Amino acid sequence: ELQQKVEETELLKMELQMLETERVRLSLVEEKLMDVLQLLQQLRDLNISKRALGKILLSTLESCCDPQPGKAHPFEVLDTLYHELTACELLQSQPPEKAQSQQSLSNPLVISC
């Protein structure tokens, strides 16, 4: 009976470790999603055209159509979209003081349609 308890304890430890790994992964995805949403808000405030935004999105999806082995596909897509958005000319030409004020929005995730 003691051996069975030891095996159950080891199994529970492994499950706990897997849950912790998943929690960390989800935390990273959430963080990247927040960054992407903030960039989208900034671009919306700069009146990016729907066509330009569509091109960025399509470019992202095309570059992520074949997931890389060992990398979580949702995170890869978010990371690629983040890099595509940061390379947008509208954000590059934005004056620094305007960029600072937009980052201090009370809730950068509120995007009205």
Q: What is the pLDDT of residue 81?
A: 94
| Same domain (yes/no): 39, 28 | yes
Q: What are the backbone dihedrals phi and psi of residue 108, each rounded to the nearest 5 degrees, phi first?
A: -70, -10
Q: Judge contact between 76 and 64, C-beta under 8 A.
A: yes
What residues contact 12, with CB distance under 8 A and at least 6 apart?
none
**DSSP 3-state assignment of 20?**
helix
| Same domain (yes/no): 14, 33 | yes
| Same domain (yes/no): 18, 55 | no
Higher pLDDT, 110 or 77: 77
Give the mean model confidence (pLDDT) for residues 98-103.
46
Tokens of 59: 């470019």
**DSSP 3-state assignment of 59?**
helix
Question: Hey, CA dihedral for 17, 22, 28, 34, is it positive or negative?
Answer: negative
Domain tally, the chain: 2
Q: What is the pLDDT of residue 92?
A: 79
| Same domain (yes/no): 81, 57 | yes
For residue 53, the one-letter residue type is L
Q: Most distant CA pair in the chain: distance in Å?
A: 70
Q: Which domain, by its residues, includes 82?
A: 48-88
| Same domain (yes/no): 12, 54 | no
| Same domain (yes/no): 2, 41 | yes
Q: What is the pLDDT of residue 66?
A: 73
Per-residue pLDDT tens for 26-44?
999 999 999 999 999 999 9
pTM comes to 0.69
Give the mean model confidence (pLDDT) for residues 91-102.
58
Per-residue pLDDT tens for 40-87?
999 999 999 999 999 999 999 898 887 666 666 888 899 999 999 999
